[in-house]
């Protein structure tokens, strides 16, 4: 695979084009591997993400995606590849990645929301810690009647 990349060095001159091409090669090879070899157990994968500082809902969000959605979301949101590179990685036609990335985001957010219990972020007035902070600031600013200070 690296030998082929070396032969195509002139075509892959831009670092992002080369990185996208390499990911596409790896994804094709990974797709040939049986699903049993890909999923080696939730505990092991959760532990690996925890070591990177990721909470369990992140794992649940990613686990709720198909492999294509996971690759599209990570390539676009984490690795910051542009649409053309995401299309190269996934072997998509030009212009097809925004729809796939959008669908992946929706599925990811739904899975994360389902994994986080209501009010899990703290707070006492419903909505969690962020909502409590917004209410406190709004109250100090006089936006909430009866709570201005």
* Residue positions counted in the chain: 149
pLDDT digits (tens, 9 = 90+) for 23-63: 888 787 777 664 533 344 578 878 887 888 888 888 888 88
* Domains of the chain, residue spans: 2-116, 119-149
How many angstroms separate the CA atoms of 48 and 117, rounded?
23
Contact 65, 108 (CB under 8 A): yes
**pLDDT at residue 64, as a whole number:** 83
Question: At which residue do the structure tokens 């690996």 appear?
Answer: 48
């Amino acid at each position: 695979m690296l030998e082929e990349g070396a032969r195509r060095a002139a075509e892959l001159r831009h670092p992002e084009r080369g990185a996208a091409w390499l990911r596409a090669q790896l994804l094709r090879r990974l797709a040939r591997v049986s699903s049993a070899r890909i999923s080696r157990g939730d505990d092991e994968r959760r532990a690996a993400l925890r070591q990177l500082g990721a909470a369990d809902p992140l794992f649940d969000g990613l686990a709720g995606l198909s492999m294509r959605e996971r690759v599209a979301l990570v390539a676009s949101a984490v690795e910051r590849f542009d649409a053309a590179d995401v299309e190269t990685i996934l072997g998509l036609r030009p212009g097809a990645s925004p729809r796939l990335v959008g669908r992946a985001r929706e599925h990811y957010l739904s899975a994360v929301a389902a994994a986080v219990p209501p009010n899990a972020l703290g707070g006492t007035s419903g909505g969690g810690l962020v909502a409590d902070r917004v209410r406190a600031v709004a109250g100090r600013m006089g936006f909430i009647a009866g709570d201005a200070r």
